[in-house]
Structure 1
Amino acid sequence: MQQPGHVVVTGAAGLVGSAIVRRLRAAGCPVVGVDRRPSPDTTVVADLRDPAAWRHALAGAGAVVHTAALHAPHVGVRPEDEFHEINVTATRDLLEASSAAGVRRFVYTSSTSVYGHALEPVDEAVWVTEDLVCRPRDIYDETKLAAERLVLSAAGAMSTVCLRIARCFPEPPAVLARHRLYRGVDMADVTQAHLLAVRGPGEAAGVLNIAGPYPWRVEDGGQLRHDPADLITRRIPEVAAGFGRHGWALPTSIDRVYVSARAGEVLGYRPRRGVTALLAEARTADHPPTSGGASPA
């Protein structure tokens, strides 16, 4: 369902935010990008801690996509008070202003990092669905989770959804390929999910994991933890061969698998760019791809 009015995207100068702006515009959505930094995708230059500087951007908006935040690399570098100001208080202000402006849809860009210590395996890889209880490990996780709660509590006044995106920032090709087996997601799939969320069902959708297409089943947890190379070689031999062509080592242990089945059921999300697509590009390109986006997950 196409939302009437324009879409406001916060963090429009960031890697994830700018990619979402471009995907929405390519799909025919009018977009107003908000960021404290000027950029080709920034329409309104404003700090979210100053509502008077950006509130006018919400006039006539049908949806808001909120990506602006301090991220995991800022932990220990920026004061914890600043995490609360930007990740929590600014989210609250944006929710209140969006509701007052008549915005119908609010999409919050969260992170699978909020699962925190719950991602630490024992004997099997952790099967990470939205039902896994979050155990934040740092101020980033804590404030992202607090912001999620604010977004979910606003459901009713608006239709709200929190998208917990998997790891999608730039990494060396061999690392990127390994992560695409269980914890990574391509930016094209991240932006697909946000477009679907903006155009999605009218009711609130809650929390949804956004991850890549992985070939694993929950019963694979033990072997993924202790001998994933054998499982990869048997189940997806073309991937094992692709790693071999590039001289990349297969993972010796996989500690988690992010599961985005619920996003498929609710939004129709279908991740398309997993490790097979990455290896195909790497085979034909002069330099293997290193594209990506946001903060660690």
Structure 2
Amino acid sequence: MRVLLTGSSGWLGRYLAPRLHAEGHTVIGLDVAPGPHTRIIGSVADRTLVDRTFDDHGIDAVVHAGALHKPYIVRYPRQAFIDVNTSGTLNLLEAAVAANASRFVFTSTTSLMISTAIREARGDTAVWIDEDMAPLEPRNIYGITKLSAEHICRLIHAEHGMPIVILRTSRFFPEDDDTHRALSGENMKANELLHRRLTVEDAVEAHVVALARAPEIGFGTFIVSAPTPFTRTDVADLKRDAPAVIARLYPDARELYARVGWSLPASIDRIYDAGLADRVLGFRCQTDFAEVLRALREGRTSPVAHDPSYVSPKESH
């Protein structure tokens, strides 16, 4: 297929473009910043550019991975998030319909499921998060615009029947967390594989599977995150004493962590359940917390990419 990949110069795009090539697709990369996989420099907010891209390149499938992300909230006005994340998605969807595209994959985010109450961990138990959680109350303009884009995807599918798969990915960024600094970046990322992270390699594979299966699925929204070892019966204990729950499941975790000076999470406030993606989409992340422990036992580097110096090409070009 001739696949339009937005965000082709970004962290996901740099891994996803060659993987799509390997699947036999012709990839037309679009990004505001130059990159090795980007043919077209520009924004999805530019409707003229989007329409011309479809016309010039015979696009018959879209993977929309480009977006303004949460860390940019302090540097960009809210209108920029609306223009890129919401209006830009509408531009792509309408152009895809006009071109009779066969499918559309939208990279969304689990962030839109996190209310202020969840973010501040106000409850007495960890929050179990799956696709049935409601109401959704995004806490910032990033989440609001991504949720709005999801609603537009649903509308376009209902009106035109175009197969659309929405992937609500959890964290896979390589840089340090912009709000939490208590632990090293490597330590935090390892901990997050328990409940709110996946590797960029698994994020790539989820998109490859979604692109292949979109016509069969028709329309679907899926959380994509490393499989959690926890169950719903653990939510109270995880909030109160997460190391005790982890020790029950992984008896040597504390010792392995101690060898490298890491700390287990004292408390866990949310768990993303990616079970629906496993059951319906047919995708399951290959890297989980157990793989981190295997790497520690064998003296290998962590399977989770960590680059505290990473800067988005959009910000550096």
- After TM superposition, the score normalised by the length of structure 1 is 0.91
* Bigger mean CA offset, 41-50 vs 56-65: 56-65
Alignment match, 1:79:
77
Say yes or no: does 1:159 pair with 2:157. no
Q: Which amino acid aligns with 2:164?
A: T
Alignment match, 1:24:
20
Structure 2: gaps (5+ residues): 177-184, 311-317
User: 1:213, 1:289 → 2: CA distance?
Assistant: 15
Alignment match, 1:205:
219
Contact 1:186–1:292 (8 Å) recurs in 2: no
Alignment match, 2:142:
140
Q: 92, 97, 100: which is aligned to 1:99?
A: 97
1:202-244 Cα offsets, whole Å, 9 max, x none, are 1423211000021111111111111110111111224333322
Identity %: 34
Query: SS of the counterpart of 2:60?
Result: strand
Q: CA RMSD in A?
A: 2.1
Q: Which amino acid aligns with 1:160?
A: I
Alignment match, 1:221:
235
1:13-33 Cα offsets, whole Å, 9 max, x none, are 111122221221222222111
User: 2:220, 2:301 → 1: CA distance?
Assistant: 39
Contact 1:168–1:292 (8 Å) recurs in 2: no
Contact 1:159–1:204 (8 Å) recurs in 2: yes
1:52-72 Cα offsets, whole Å, 9 max, x none, are 224343343332011111110
User: 1:62, 1:273 → 2: CA distance?
Assistant: 31
Alignment match, 1:57:
53
Alignment match, 2:124:
123
Contact 2:6–2:66 (8 Å) recurs in 1: yes
Alignment match, 1:66:
64
Q: Which amino acid aligns with 1:266?
A: V
Structure 1 stretches of at least 4 aligned residues deviating more than 6 Å after TM superposition: none
Aligned pair count reads 291
User: 2:122, 2:201 → 1: CA distance?
Assistant: 29
* Bigger mean CA offset, 29-38 vs 53-62: 53-62
Alignment match, 2:202:
189
User: 2:272, 2:122 → 1: CA distance?
Assistant: 13
Alignment match, 2:8:
12
Contact 1:239–1:276 (8 Å) recurs in 2: no
Contact 1:166–1:209 (8 Å) recurs in 2: yes
Query: SS of the counterpart of 2:74?
Result: coil
Contact 2:113–2:138 (8 Å) recurs in 1: yes
Query: SS of the counterpart of 2:237?
Result: helix
User: 1:270, 1:287 → 2: CA distance?
Assistant: 22
Q: Which amino acid aligns with 1:127?
A: W
Q: 42, 46, 64: which is aligned to 2:42?
A: 46
